[in-house]
Amino acid sequence: MAKIILVASGKGGVGKSTVSALLGEAFAFKKSPVLLLELDSGLRSLDVALGVSEHVLFDMGDIIRGSCETKDAIINCPFCPDLSLIAAAAKPVAVTEETIRKIIGEFGNYYEFIILDCPAGIGPELENAAKCADLGLVVATPDPSSIRGARAAGNLLSSFGVKERRLVIERCPLKAKKLSPIKNLDEIIDGSELQLIGVIWEDPATRDSMDSGEPLDDSNTNYECFRALSERIRGKNIPLGFK
């Protein structure tokens, strides 16, 4: 049965969809089948990241309305055959716990990982996803309001029974002095009250990969960061390698 990984944040625009897509690629490049479920109704972006925006015939909204079978809404990534996507509904619609459970029930045996790319914030969508998740990845940038949001999201996941909860620091500047007003990464870890599992660097090529629908080059530093993150989630002891 697939491990269900939820990707959340308090504040918006911190890199949840980037983490969902590139973590999914990292698993899938190692031949682990991955299904990305985009829960951000009305704010679709993973179709662009995977280069499949022209191929979305059915989406989460169609599944919810019953106007297609779940399998009809699954799109395969052209550059990564083990990675598939169900795109977010084009218009705002509530994604219930039942909908998420139905998809997991139908396809959980076909995938090793199902990644739930959640909307920002600590609303009902996150609660519904939390009830279905095995692991919650909370994304935060080195920004005080994002860190506070991460703590709120982590607390919500805890209250909805997500036993494994981890912090991913996104868009971390390579130069420590640019972290200001945050002094160091420990401050983010302490402020979020979550255990760190990965750091992703601020990097124009990572943004370009999301905008162009092409994979991250394997020489890119963040390619290695996502590979390491995927291995840690598999339970391997890969040092965080900074501080």
- Rule CB under 5 A: which residues touch Mg ion? 16-17
Amino acid at site 233: I
CA distances from 81 to 57, 92, 102, 122 (A): 19, 29, 24, 33
The DSSP secondary structure of 48-63, one letter per residue, reads HHTT-GGG-SS-HHHH
Question: Minimum CB separation from ligand ATP for residue 222, in Å?
Answer: 6
Instruction: List the single partner that 41 binds among ligand ATP, Mg ion, none, CB under 5 to 8 Å by kind.
Output: none
Residue 210 makes contact with ligand ATP by CB under 6 A: yes
Alpha helix (H) ranges present in the chain?
A: 16-29, 46-49, 60-65, 97-107, 124-130, 144-159, 185-192, 204-212, 221-233
- Nearer of residues 66 and 241 to ligand ATP, judged by Cβ: 241
Question: Looking at beta carbons, which residue is closest to Mg ion?
Answer: 17
In the complex with Mg ion, the residue whose CB is nearer, 112 or 170, is: 170
Q: Which is nearer to ligand ATP, 72 or 211 (CB)?
A: 211
51-73 burial, b at 16+ Cβ within 10 Å, e below that, comes to: bbeeebebbbbbbbeeeeebeeb
Closest to ligand ATP by CB, 135 or 210: 210
Q: Which of 2, 3, 17, 75 binds ligand ATP (CB under 6 A)?
A: 17
Residue 14 Cβ vs ligand ATP, minimum distance, rounded to whole Å: 5
SS3 of residue 20 by DSSP: helix
Q: How far is the CB of 238 from Mg ion (least distance, A)?
A: 26
* Minimum separation from the CB atom of position 45 to Mg ion (A): 5
User: Applying CB under 6 A, does 116 fall inside the site for ligand ATP?
Assistant: no
CB contact at 8 A, 231 and 238: yes
- In whole angstroms, how far apart are CA 143 and each of 126, 137, 149, 165, 171? 22, 17, 10, 20, 10
Q: How far is the CB of 44 from ligand ATP (least distance, A)?
A: 10
Q: Which of residues 29-58 bind ligand ATP (CB under 6 A)?
A: 40, 45
State the DSSP code for 137.
E
Residues that bind ligand ATP (CB under 6 A): 9, 12-18, 40, 45, 120, 170-171, 200, 202-203, 206-207, 210
